[in-house]
Structure 1
Amino acid sequence: MIRKFCRIFCVVFLIADFQSSQSQFDNNRKNHLIPSNINGPLSLPDDALHQASIRLINKDITFGEGHICSGSLISTRVVLTAARCLFNLDFKTPRHPSELIVVMGTSDRYQRTLDTVTSGITHIRYPTSFDLESMRDDIGLLFLSREIPEKHSTIRPIELNWKITDNYVRGSVTGWDLSKNGDLSRQLLIANVSILDRNNCKHNVEQLLITKRMICGRYMREMDKRIYQSDVGAPLVIAGKQIGLASITMSNYSTLSDKLVIYTDVAYHKEWIWTELRDENNNDSSVWGLLGFLILTWFAFREKQKLSFRLCL
């Protein structure tokens, strides 16, 4: 009886390691959303000490080529990004943590220095209310397999904003944008953004549902309005605090001359983020999954040995 219980216990842990939260989306709906746009002068190191490059391991054979999204370090072991970055968009399925790595500590996407930190992922989280079509609640967390030293010279967590952001204030967003020839920029770029009234966005973009979960922004300079596909998950910062992360652009829908961009509002997701961070030290799914796998394998090996012995008799 005890042996049977142990087997069930191991199977449950093994399954839990490979199972991600369920997302809500309608496969019959066409996704018209376009990733948001960043393009500007090179940022100084102090502008983005929190910046993270999220990469696919199997694409990052040449260091830097695997970049798929940006993120921001919000604690010594947690990176904030967009939920869509945690999905395989071709199959609309959640990615396993083992598919991803996070690189921090350099603004040059291809440069590995003594200050560069590369970390695996133990587990990923995103709200069960996330919708891959409408990009509702497009926010996610990556839990790192290694802790970032508090006094690291080129990496520092950013403080999150928990208050409602005033309209028409100005902020900045950083990321690795697509250039004119379609290649990702080598250096980290920065653009200035003005926060707009949400009702203004709703009035000019009737095709998309603009909710209180979102922040509406507009690029300030002419060069920032050019329609390039760019970094999803790029942090939007005002006065040293992150207020949002790049989600979608409405360039195909807007009647405004300036390009509008939608960011996921960090303050709206305060309770969800706090809940996940509180559980940070208690949810190392990769460790439990590996332990369960090893124990399950051991039981299977023993049963095989017993079966072979009986057949020999």
Structure 2
Amino acid sequence: MCSIEKILVSIVLINILRLETYLCAKNNSKIIMEDAQEKYKFLITGGYRPKIDTLAKYVVSIRGSKHRWFFGDDHKCGGSIISPKVILTAAHCVCKRHSRIRLKPSDLTVVAGTPRRLVPTETTQVLKVDKIIRHVYYKPLTFRNDIGILLLVKNIYEDGVAVQRISLQTHHLPPYTKCTVLGWGRVFFRGPMPDEILHVDVSIMPDNYCDARTDKYAFGMMCAGDLADPEKDSCSGDSGGPLICNGSVTGIVSFGVKCGIPEHAGYYTNVTSYLEWIRENGFSKLRPVNLILLVILQIFLMKVKLN
């Protein structure tokens, strides 16, 4: 076969593969739902989908500025809605790979209002980023101070069903407190990402357990897992998403040893250790009217919890 014919054949094969990839992604959610019913134990790792999802409304998908082949193929990280204009996430999600160099706001978009990654729904909101903030002392090699904020150009519309802000955990929780982490991360180490968001229930582990399993453990970190089932873990693509305990965002998915490894746990940025930083770099950047409304809402949420 001459070189021109080889080139033409290659072009045809590439386009066939692109079409198959697109069609596969388009039908992915249907396949996932059918398989999830009986055939597979989904990992987030070790995760599940609740019949009534009350947590996905707090979570956003942080993506590139434009998908490559199909909607959702540029998902990078998760994030938490802590005000209509403020998204809480990990520093490594808003920086260039293995560096402290921040991405440009135009490099990212935020998708809210749907548990689906690949299929836009009636409640899906795609929002532009106005400003990126990461902790000034973030250390990419050790993941210290792995916390960042995205300030949005426009407010997220909150309907309380598909989209809602979540409160911040204001005090340190004791070991073995049960929590839930959720996201669109890989279903196992180096595996595929799901279309529909997955949940996994884990418990906060004691500091000595966390410290004994990595030399990176430091102030501002926490770890969580399940001693009886080590497959219950966050994974690549869940980064930046929330660890929710007692209805508040308590941790931010940061790093781990692969995913679901026995005798290990997932590591999270401890939100309670950074409350002042979040207020100074997130809420204080809002206009005074928005800030007052946010304070009132936070007080209201705390009263509801106490009652």
TM-score bracket, normalised by the shorter chain, equals 0.7 to 0.9
Distance in 2 of aligned mates of 1:47 and 1:77: 19
Q: Secondary structure at the match of 1:164?
A: coil
The CA deviation at 1:114 is 1.5
Q: 136-145 or 273-282, which moves further after superposition?
A: 273-282
Q: Secondary structure at the match of 1:208?
A: coil
Distance in 2 of aligned mates of 1:224 and 1:54: 25
- Look up the equivalent residue of 2:166 and give its one-letter code: I
Distance in 2 of aligned mates of 1:113 and 1:227: 25
Change (3 A) 1:90 1:261: closer
In the TM superposition, what are the counterparts of 1:196-215 in structure 2 within 5 Å?
A: 196-202=205-211, 204-205=212-213, 207-215=214-222
Match status 1:189 vs 2:194: no
TM-score (normalizing by structure 2) = 0.72
The CA deviation at 1:140 is 0.5
Q: Whose RCO is larger (CA < 8 A, sep 6+)?
A: 1
In the TM superposition, what are the counterparts of 1:169-184 in structure 2 within 5 Å?
A: 169-179=177-187, 182-184=191-193
Distance in 2 of aligned mates of 1:171 and 1:227: 12
Name the counterpart of 2:62. 54
Q: Which deviations, in whole Å up to 9, do the C-alpha atoms of 1:114-167 show, x marking residues without a partner? A: 211110000011110111111101010011111123435310000110101111
The CA deviation at 1:210 is 1.4
Distance in 1 of aligned mates of 2:127 and 2:228: 35
The CA deviation at 1:110 is 1.0
Q: Is the 8 A contact 1:39 1:189 kept in 2?
A: no
Distance in 1 of aligned mates of 2:243 and 2:227: 14
The CA deviation at 1:183 is 1.7
Which of residues 90, 93, 98 is equivalent to 2:101? 93
Q: Is the 8 A contact 1:247 1:262 kept in 2?
A: yes
Name the counterpart of 1:278. 284
Q: Secondary structure at the match of 1:84?
A: helix
In the TM superposition, what are the counterparts of 1:22-171 in structure 2 within 5 Å?
A: 38-43=45-50, 44-89=52-97, 93-171=101-179
- Look up the equivalent residue of 1:218 and give its one-letter code: G
- Look up the equivalent residue of 1:275 and give its one-letter code: E
Q: Is the 8 A contact 2:167 2:249 kept in 1?
A: yes
- Look up the equivalent residue of 2:178 and give its one-letter code: R
Which of residues 255, 261, 279 is equivalent to 1:248? 255
Name the counterpart of 2:13. none
- Look up the equivalent residue of 2:195 and give its one-letter code: R
Kindly report the root-mean-square deviation, in angstroms, between the aligned alpha carbons of the 2 structures.
2.6
Q: Is the 8 A contact 1:60 1:67 kept in 2?
A: no
Distance in 1 of aligned mates of 2:201 and 2:252: 14
- Look up the equivalent residue of 1:186 and give its one-letter code: D
TM-score (normalizing by structure 1) = 0.71
The CA deviation at 1:187 is 1.0
Corresponding pairs, count: 243
The CA deviation at 1:169 is 0.9
In the TM superposition, what are the counterparts of 1:290-309 in structure 2 within 5 Å?
A: none
Name the counterpart of 1:229. 236
Distance in 1 of aligned mates of 2:99 and 2:219: 29
Q: Which runs of 5+ in 1 are unaligned?
A: 1-36, 283-313
